[in-house]
Amino acid sequence: MPRINTGFSLRWKVWARMYSSSESVREISESLRKISKIMMSTPALALDTALDQSGIRVSPDTVEDVLKRFENAGMLAYRFFEWAGKQRNYSHSVRAYHIMIESLAKIRQYQIVWDVVNAMRNKSMLNVETFCIIMRKYARAQKVDEAVYTFNVMEKYDMPPNLAAFNGLLSALCKAKNVRKAQEIFDSMKQQYAPDSKTYSILLEGWGKAPNLPNARETFREMVSAGCDPDIVTYGIMVDILCKAGRVDEAVGIVKEMDSNACQPTSFIYSVLVHTYGIENRIEDAVETFLEMKRNGIEADVVAYNSLISAFCKVNKFKNVKRVLSEMESRGVNPNTRTCNIILTNLINSGETDEAYSFFRRLIKVCEPDADTYTMMIKMFCQRDELEMALKVWKYMNSKRFIPSMHTYSALINGLCEKGNSPRACVLLEEMMEKGIRPSRETFGRVRQLLIKEGREDVLKFLQEKMNLLVKEPLCD
């Protein structure tokens, strides 16, 4: 028997796995491209047929990617979700369900959210995170009672609430600036769930956002007296709270205290200090803090660089911004969408709109614009009375198969109304509602005024009927 070269055999297996993996990625990417094209160009009622005729076979990864890409178009995403769920040899992953729940909750289709939850229950796929997502979405929509209801109903779904769910409810309320309700729930239920450092950190952050420095200090004291030692996250939150309260020098004292406790500050903590110095126009302190971080052996990440860029933008030192971008490139730290949005915002606010557009064109080569980026650019061109340029940005966005947010649609619709272009404004408004995105009262009102002025009550009636289909859904299942 010939002797097997085990080294070659191992290399072959590794190569084969890599080849197989890259083939799989290409397959997903191609499926994503085809599905996106169909979804962007096919009327809602014909979507199932078009997807059936495409012959595309879906996988969990493909479905997750499609749902993520169309997360701003909840009802369109849901039609695809329903179609995918009927395909042979395919079952939705927990992540697909969760993306779908977030997308539907974003457009307040709560009844369908609970339909999805029931489908997960029937397949024994529910977990604590499912309910935490719903609590977050209700809280963000300022539906406090519904968020609490979601926590209380977990038992009914054979998912008894635990500390993670308790923390999830408190976090949802605090992030939605309902910290007083969170504190009330904490005080009434803390005996049931044995709060940990994460629980206290959530409340601490909530009082910081209120902002209420005395209550934040009280929470910190209670945490220590309860035997929960502050960790790096807690320190970070406390530094952030003090900075937001204009007590940056006290925050620096916390950082020194960390050093003495052998708890090294993180890049995030230094970023908060740099950002705060920037807001206070203390640019020398911002730069010195950034350099101190590097001297202490802490690598600057994109968040730290963003803070420094923001500080330079605040004092209109755009040459320094370019130097920071060059340093990022040399150190292999890629700018993210946040980097680009900081720079664009400051260029536009400074009246440097030509430079902003030039930067936008460079940006799209290094990172993906988000809804805020597109909204900024479209609004900028509309304000400059350059509607054709706004439409050019819109066309580019569509070519990238990017689903605009409500704010992006509003920016262009308002611009079209300003120019009296009611046909194009109505087409966009209908498209927006077809995707399950409810226009704001102001945007719908502008289109309404324009149509009344032109005597087009027939079109207004049609759009109003579409709008009525996007009314609020009932709370529960």
Please report which confidence band the pLDDT of residue 364 belongs to, taking 50, 70 and 90 as the band edges.
confident
Q: What pLDDT does residue 475 have?
A: 41
Return the amino acid letter for 140: R
- For 205, counting Cβ atoms within 10 Å of its Cβ (0-12 exposed, 13-18 middle, 19+ buried), the class is buried
Helix 441-453 with 457-468: angle, nearest 10 deg: 160
User: What mean pLDDT is reported for the chain?
Assistant: 88
Q: What pLDDT does residue 33 have?
A: 87
Please report which confidence band the pLDDT of residue 22 belongs to, taking 50, 70 and 90 as the band edges.
very low
CA 468/CA 461 separation, integer angstroms: 10
| Residue written as token pair 């302190």 | 285
CA 113/CA 116 separation, integer angstroms: 5
Q: Tell me the two tokens of residue 122.
A: 């029937």
Please report which confidence band the pLDDT of residue 41 belongs to, taking 50, 70 and 90 as the band edges.
confident
- Give the chain's length: 477
Q: What pLDDT does residue 29 have?
A: 77
Q: What pLDDT does residue 367 have?
A: 84
Measured distance between the N- and C-terminal CA atoms of the chain, rounded to whole angstroms: 67
Q: What pLDDT does residue 471 have?
A: 57
pLDDT in tens, 110-161: 999 999 999 999 999 999 999 999 999 999 999 999 999 999 999 999 999 9
The C-alpha angle with vertex 349 and arms to 347 and 355, in degrees rounded to 5, equals 25
CA 207/CA 214 separation, integer angstroms: 9
Q: What pLDDT does residue 227 have?
A: 87
Q: Which of 23-27, 420-424, 425-429 has the lowest mean pLDDT?
A: 23-27
Buried b (16+ CB within 10 A) or exposed e, 148-177: bebbebbeebebebeeebbbbbbbbbbbbe
Give which of 367, 286, 358 is closest to 320, Cα–Cα.
Answer: 286
Which residues neighbour 37 within 8 Å (Cβ) at sequence distance 6 or greater?
Answer: 401
Q: What pLDDT does residue 263 have?
A: 79
Q: Which of 165-174, 212-221, 254-263, 422-431 has the lowest mean pLDDT?
A: 254-263
Please determine, for residue 324, whether its predicted confidence score (pLDDT) is greater than 50.
Answer: yes
Q: Tell me the two tokens of residue 58.
A: 């879906």
Q: What pLDDT does residue 101 have?
A: 97
Q: What pLDDT does residue 26 have?
A: 52
Q: What pLDDT does residue 465 have?
A: 86
Rounded average pLDDT over 406-435: 92
Please report which confidence band the pLDDT of residue 28 belongs to, taking 50, 70 and 90 as the band edges.
low
Domain ranges of the chain: 403-477
What percent of the chain is predicted at pLDDT more than 70?
92
Please determine, for residue 20, whether its predicted confidence score (pLDDT) is greater than 60.
Answer: no
Q: What pLDDT does residue 434 have?
A: 83
Please report which confidence band the pLDDT of residue 333 belongs to, taking 50, 70 and 90 as the band edges.
very high
Q: What pLDDT does residue 115 have?
A: 96
C-alpha distances in Å from residue 84, one per residue of 51, 52, 63, 343 = 9, 10, 7, 40
pLDDT in tens, 272-317: 999 999 999 999 999 999 999 999 899 999 999 999 999 999 988 9
Within 10 angstroms of residue 27's Cβ, the number of other Cβ atoms is 14
Task: Tell me the range of 180-184, 348-352, 433-437 where mean pLDDT is highest.
Answer: 180-184
Please determine, for residue 399, whether its predicted confidence score (pLDDT) is greater than 60.
Answer: yes
Please determine, for residue 473, whether its predicted confidence score (pLDDT) is greater than 50.
Answer: no
CA 144/CA 135 separation, integer angstroms: 9
